[in-house]
């Protein structure tokens, strides 16, 4: 060691300049590569510090929330307890069967429609429950997305606990109410025959099926002949509890026939053709247009003039209410003889005008007949002739012993 010290004793170091002292000192760069674990360790330390800090913040939040719940549980709440109960009343409803709920349709498919009724899950409206009438798709009944309607709960789907809704049930209730109202008003309604049996036919009115006994049908038609036809009907019995609905065609026909006047013009539809004439439906009443009353010109083949389904105007010539027979004529409505064959459209347009002319001719003929009777035997006719030549009303001042016709001269051919 002593020899080593002696060696260093003779060494001289040059003095440090001021310029060298003013420069900062930088440690020499390390030439060796850093360890591969140092970044991972740094990141782990950073994550650990962040998690610790986050846990501390969460702990502080929980402690503050616990303290608020213990001391003032309603602090910071935007609505009161009463508001909360009101909200429950709006969004909570009775899901028992038969309960009516309001909903909005938000989608449809071939089997039905999904409806939002503000429940925990959407409700479903099957297509068979969408309408009182038979339909193939809910859109036929106007069920489209966005529709707001009142439904009735009729069941529950066990798979997903969703509710099954119905509109048909509500429509049935309204239909029965409507039938009771129509029965009270004693009005005539139209019913389409949809089926039949040995006792009568089944007709559809207001979406409900009702029975029409053959004894209450004015015509002698069979159930097959009446199928898919509309009949004028009146209500006989309306019993919703027993699901019993009975109609009468005879009562409806009696009201319609009372409005038919001799010489009036009505619109009819050709129902069927026979060798002797055509049967015309005039508002539910079948009238006969005899071949001789079709036109002034001879009609050799009715099918050349009329076809089933044709619409025409006819004049009522006679009406036998007891036997239910009505005689019709289109010949009386022809502007010129043969127009029913050559120009039936003109007959349709001029029908009312020609009927008025015909009635005037009949009235003049009756007046002339009465005047002749009054001139020959005024006491027999019971008529009086005024100074203006107008016939007065019939009198009932007839002799009790009857009339003596011995003095009446026999008619002489001219």
Tens-digit pLDDT profile for residues 115-161 = 998 876 778 999 999 999 888 999 988 999 999 999 999 988 877 77
**Other C-beta atoms within 10 Å of 265: how many?**
17
50 vs 215: which has the higher pLDDT = 215
198 vs 406: which has the higher pLDDT = 198
Give the pLDDT score at 400.
Answer: 42
Quick one: average pLDDT of 177-187?
A: 92
Binning pLDDT at 50, 70 and 90, where does residue 362 land? Answer: confident
Give the pLDDT score at 72.
Answer: 73
Q: Residues for the chain: how many in total? A: 414
Class of domain 186-255: mainly beta
Give the pLDDT score at 91.
Answer: 57
Domain 186-255 in the same topology as domain 100-171: yes
How many Cα atoms within 13 Å fall on the side-chain side of residue 291?
12
Burial class (CB in 10 A: 0-12, 13-18, 19+), 335: middle
CATH 2.40.50.140 fits 100-171, yes or no: yes
Quick one: average pLDDT of 373-382?
A: 60
Binning pLDDT at 50, 70 and 90, where does residue 174 land? Answer: very high
Give the pLDDT score at 237.
Answer: 94
221 vs 277: which has the higher pLDDT = 277
364 vs 339: which has the higher pLDDT = 339
Q: What is the DSSP letter of 35?
A: P
303 vs 370: which has the higher pLDDT = 303
C-alpha gyration radius of the chain: 51
Report the distance separating Cα 328 and Cα 318, nearest Å.
Answer: 7
pLDDT above 80 for 81: no
pLDDT above 70 for 182: yes
pLDDT single digits (tens) 10-36: 444 444 444 444 444 445 554 444 444
- Residue tagged 């004793």 (tokens): 9
Give the pLDDT score at 405.
Answer: 38
Domain parsing of the chain, residue ranges? 100-171, 186-255, 260-358
Return mean pLDDT, the chain: 77
Q: Please, which residues bridge with residue 165 across strands?
A: 153
Identify the CA nearest to 75 among candidates 88, 83, 66.
Answer: 66
Of 17-31, 77-91, 171-185, where does mean pLDDT reach its minimum? Answer: 17-31
Give the pLDDT score at 4.
Answer: 42
How far is Cα of residue 241 from the mean position of the Cα atoms in its chain? Answer: 24
Class of domain 260-358: mainly beta
The phi and psi torsions of 310 (rounded to 5 degrees) equal -65, 145
Quick one: average pLDDT of 234-247?
A: 93
């Amino acid at each position: 060691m002593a020899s080593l010290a002696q060696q260093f004793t003779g060494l001289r170091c040059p003095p440090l300049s001021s310029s060298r002292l003013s420069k900062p000192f930088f440690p020499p760069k390390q030439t060796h590569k850093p360890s591969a674990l140092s970044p991972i360790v740094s990141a782990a330390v950073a994550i650990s510090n962040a998690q610790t800090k986050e846990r501390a913040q969460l702990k502080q939040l929980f402690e503050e929330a616990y303290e608020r719940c213990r001391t003032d549980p309603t602090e910071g709440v935007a609505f009161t307890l009463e508001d909360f109960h009101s909200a429950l009343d709006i969004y909570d409803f009775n899901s028992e069967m038969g309960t009516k709920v309001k909903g909005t349709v938000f989608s449809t498919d071939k089997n039905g429609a999904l409806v939002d009724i503000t429940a925990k899950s959407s409700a479903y409206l099957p297509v068979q429950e969408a309408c009182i009438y038979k339909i193939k798709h809910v859109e036929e009944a106007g069920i489209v997305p966005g529709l707001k309607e009142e439904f009735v709960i009729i069941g529950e789907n066990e798979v997903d606990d969703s509710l099954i809704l119905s509109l048909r049930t509500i429509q049935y209730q309204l239909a029965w109410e409507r039938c009771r109202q129509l029965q009270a008003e004693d009005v005539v309604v139209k019913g389409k025959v949809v089926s039949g049996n040995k006792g009568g036919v089944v007709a559809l009115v207001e979406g409900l099926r009702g029975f029409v006994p053959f004894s209450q049908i004015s015509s002698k038609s069979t159930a097959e002949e009446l199928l898919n036809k509309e009949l004028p009907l009146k209500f006989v019995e309306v019993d919703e509890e027993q699901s019993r609905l009975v109609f009468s065609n005879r009562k409806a026909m009696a009201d319609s026939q009372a409005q038919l006047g001799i010489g009036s013009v009505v619109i009819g539809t050709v129902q069927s053709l026979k060798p002797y004439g055509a049967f015309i439906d005039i508002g539910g009443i079948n009238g006969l247009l005899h071949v001789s009353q079709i036109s002034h010109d001879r009609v050799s083949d009715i099918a050349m003039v009329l076809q089933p389904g044709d619409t025409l105007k006819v004049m009522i010539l006679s009406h036998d209410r007891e036997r239910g027979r009505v005689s019709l004529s289109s010949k009386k409505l022809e502007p010129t003889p043969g127009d029913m064959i050559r120009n039936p459209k003109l007959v349709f347009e001029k029908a009312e005008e020609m009927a008025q002319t015909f009635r005037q001719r009949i009235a003049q003929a009756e007046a002339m007949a009465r005047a002749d009777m009054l001139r020959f035997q005024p006491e027999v006719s019971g008529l009086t002739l005024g100074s203006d030549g107008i016939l007065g009303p019939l009198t009932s001042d007839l002799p009790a012993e009857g009339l003596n016709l011995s003095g009446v001269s026999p008619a002489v051919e001219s």
